[in-house]
Amino acid sequence: MKLAGVLKGAAGIAAAIALWEATRALGLIDARDLPSVLDIARSGVQNAGDLGRAALGTLGVWAAGLALATVLGGAAGIALALMPWLERITRPLIEFMRPIPSVALIPVALIVIGLGFRMEVTLITFASIWPVLFNAKAGVESVDPRYIETGRILGLGRASIVLRIVLPAALPAMATGVRTAAAIALVLAITVEMLAGQKGLGFFLQFAALNGQFAQMWAGTMFAGILGLALNAIFLTAERRVLVWSVEHRAS
């Protein structure tokens, strides 16, 4: 049964490729702008080195920003959940900053920090912090009160309860937040590279497009999609392994 699914999926991809080639053949889009799938694949292989280096550049800032966002966002979310007065006072501030698309802050970052690694990481962190924060907060808030009562009955102090009961119980929600943040961080990293000429996938794509290397550009785009898929899969697998006990990840 599983094999049938895989074959069907492959057939679907084949159909998509056929559609691509048909669009070229029919001249709906200029054949120069839309290289054949073969050319794109070939270009990808030929430029594997450059693509790889570009990906590493992107992943470097991505990882740094994501790590910072996880720590800061997680801490902030937990703090807000445990100290309701803090949450109440900062609510308007957070609600004000939240809807601003982080990409709009790229020019601000350029002015305040200038070009470079620091600027990129700062932006990525700022953008990725929100899902982690809100998920951590929601995770802590929705911890089953019975767990906490059990802790109290067993004589655990407040700090103990937080560390040994609340945090682990909130972990699944936080993990989801980090996974979401990972996707956002990737978007930001690539965008900053495109805009500010930082080394990485974004730059690779811009460069290829400006120099008329369209097969290379498309190869880069496909690669970015595969990278996104891979990252998501890695996060999901890690979640499932570590959080095997949680309701969300229990095999149904």
- For other proteins, the closer CB: 26 or 153: 26
Which of 34, 68 has the CB closer to other proteins?
34
Give the CA radius of gyration of the chain: 23
Smallest gap, in angstroms, from Cβ of residue 14 to other proteins?
10
CA dist 252 and 244 (Å) reads: 12
CB 121, CB 65: distance < 8 Å: yes
CA proximity to 91, closest of 127, 139, 134: 134
Residue 57 interacting with other proteins (CB under 8 A):
no
**Rounded to whole angstroms, how far apart are CA atoms 229 and 101?**
23
Q: Give residue 72's identity as a one-letter amino acid code.
A: L
Q: Is 11 in the site for other proteins (CB under 8 A)?
A: yes
Task: Determine, following the binding rule CB under 8 A, whether residue 221 of this chain makes contact with other proteins.
Answer: yes
What's the CA gap between 119 and 137, in Å, rounded?
27
Check binding of 159 to other proteins (CB under 8 A): no
Question: Which residues in 172-211 contact other proteins (CB under 8 A)?
Answer: 183, 186-187, 190-191, 194-195, 201-202, 205-206, 208-209
Least Cβ distance, residue 10 to other proteins (angstroms): 8
Q: Which CB atom, from 15 or from 75, has the smaller least distance to other proteins? A: 15
What is the helix (H) or strand (E) element at residue 58, kind and residue range? helix 48-82
The smaller minimum CB distance to other proteins, of residues 151 and 200, is found at 200
Dist CA 154 CA 80 (whole Å): 26
Q: Which amino acid is at 3?
A: L
The DSSP secondary-structure symbol of 116 reads S
Q: Which is nearer to other proteins, 108 or 244 (CB)?
A: 108
Residues touching other proteins: how many (CB under 8 A)?
62
Q: Is 104 in the site for other proteins (CB under 8 A)?
A: yes
22 to 51, contacts with other proteins by CB under 8 A? 29, 33-34
How many Cβ atoms are within 10 Å of 228's Cβ, its own excluded? 15
CB 145 within 8 A of CB 41: no
Phi, psi of 86 (to 5 degrees): -65, -40
Nearer to other proteins, 80 or 121 (CB): 80
Residues within the interface to other proteins (CB under 8 A): 4-5, 8-13, 15-16, 29, 33-34, 84-85, 87-93, 96-97, 99-108, 110-112, 183, 186-187, 190-191, 194-195, 201-202, 205-206, 208-209, 214, 217-218, 220-221, 224-226, 228-229, 231-232
